[in-house]
Structure formats: C-alpha cells, structure tokens
Amino acid sequence: MTDIIVRHFVTFFTPGTLVVESSTKQIDSWDIAAAVLALGIKDRYAAVPFGFQFTTRERGPEDLDSLVVATSPLYYLGGTVETLDQLEARATEKDRTLIANMRNNQYDRIITNDNSYRWTQPLWADDVVLQWP
C-alpha cells in the first residue's frame, strides 16, 4: 500500500516592479472566504494582493517532489473589467499601447485592479471577480 500525501495551497498575487509577485501558503481546503480573510499579506512596498488561486498538490512515497494535480480559476479581489470594444470606443491617447497589445495578443477582456498599485492584465473566461471593498 502506498501513502499519498495531499495538501492544498493558496497563492496570492501582488503587483511587482515588472512582473507579478506571489506568496503561497498551505491551507486546509479551497475556501474562498477563508482565503479572503487571510489577506493580511502585504508584499514588497506594502502591495496588497489583486487576486489569488488555489492549488492541490500530491506526493507519493517514490516522488522526489510534489505535483500540482488541481488548479482553481484566478480569483480577483475586485477590479474594473473592460472589453477591447469599450477601450476602442473611448480611445484616449493613454490607452493606445494597451489597445495595440490587446489586438496583437487577441485579448477580449482585461481587468484593472487598484487595491494598492494599479495592475492590468488579461481576464480569462474562467477567472472570477469577487466583490471587494
């Protein structure tokens, strides 16, 4: 008989200088309310997370490291969702690069979050935007 170890984690994502920064914590289960309550996290420059994602990892007795066996959608902590059509309709000079990037990368929607620092990225079909104060 083999003993498989299963653990659940939540990874919080915060704006970084050039790329997203992340902090991962072990949790008991994929509990959205508990993850939101655990948000005492502040990364470099006191950045507050713009979102989080759950993962489940397993490791068997012969495994050297754990493997991710399940991943949740990305949960955003509020934010403004905009489509390419909306951005093109307002078409300000400051949106020019964003619109070009959306067209070139075939992004239909973006989300902009201002929990601490402004962060904009593509919003995928299975992502979830939670109400955030």
pLDDT score of 115: 86
Give the β-pairing of 128-130 and 75-77: parallel
Does one domain contain both 28 and 62?
Answer: yes
- pLDDT of 83-107, one tens digit each? 999 999 998 999 999 999 999 999 9
Query: Does residue 89 sit within a domain?
Result: yes
Count of domains forming the chain = 2
How many beta carbons lie within 10 A of that of residue 77, not counting itself? Answer: 21
How far apart CA 118 and CA 127 sit, in angstroms, is 18
Choosing from 43, 58, 77, the residue where a domain stops is 77
Distance of CA 110 to the CA centre of its chain: 13
Does one domain contain both 97 and 39?
Answer: no
- pLDDT of 32-79, one tens digit each? 988 877 666 666 677 889 999 999 999 998 888 999 999 999 999 999
Q: Quote the domain boundaries for residue 93.
A: 80-124
Query: Does residue 22 sit within a domain?
Result: yes
Does one domain contain both 41 and 73?
Answer: yes
Query: Does residue 26 sit within a domain?
Result: yes
Give the β-pairing of 109-113 and 80-83: antiparallel
Does one domain contain both 61 and 87?
Answer: no
Does one domain contain both 104 and 93?
Answer: yes
Does one domain contain both 64 and 108?
Answer: no
Query: Does residue 118 sit within a domain?
Result: yes
- CA 127 → CA 16, 42, 64, 97, 132, distances in Å? 20, 22, 32, 24, 15
Average pLDDT over residues 9-35: 90
Please, what is the end-to-end C-alpha distance for the chain in angstroms? Answer: 49
Does one domain contain both 71 and 86?
Answer: no
Query: Does residue 68 sit within a domain?
Result: yes
Query: Does residue 72 sit within a domain?
Result: yes
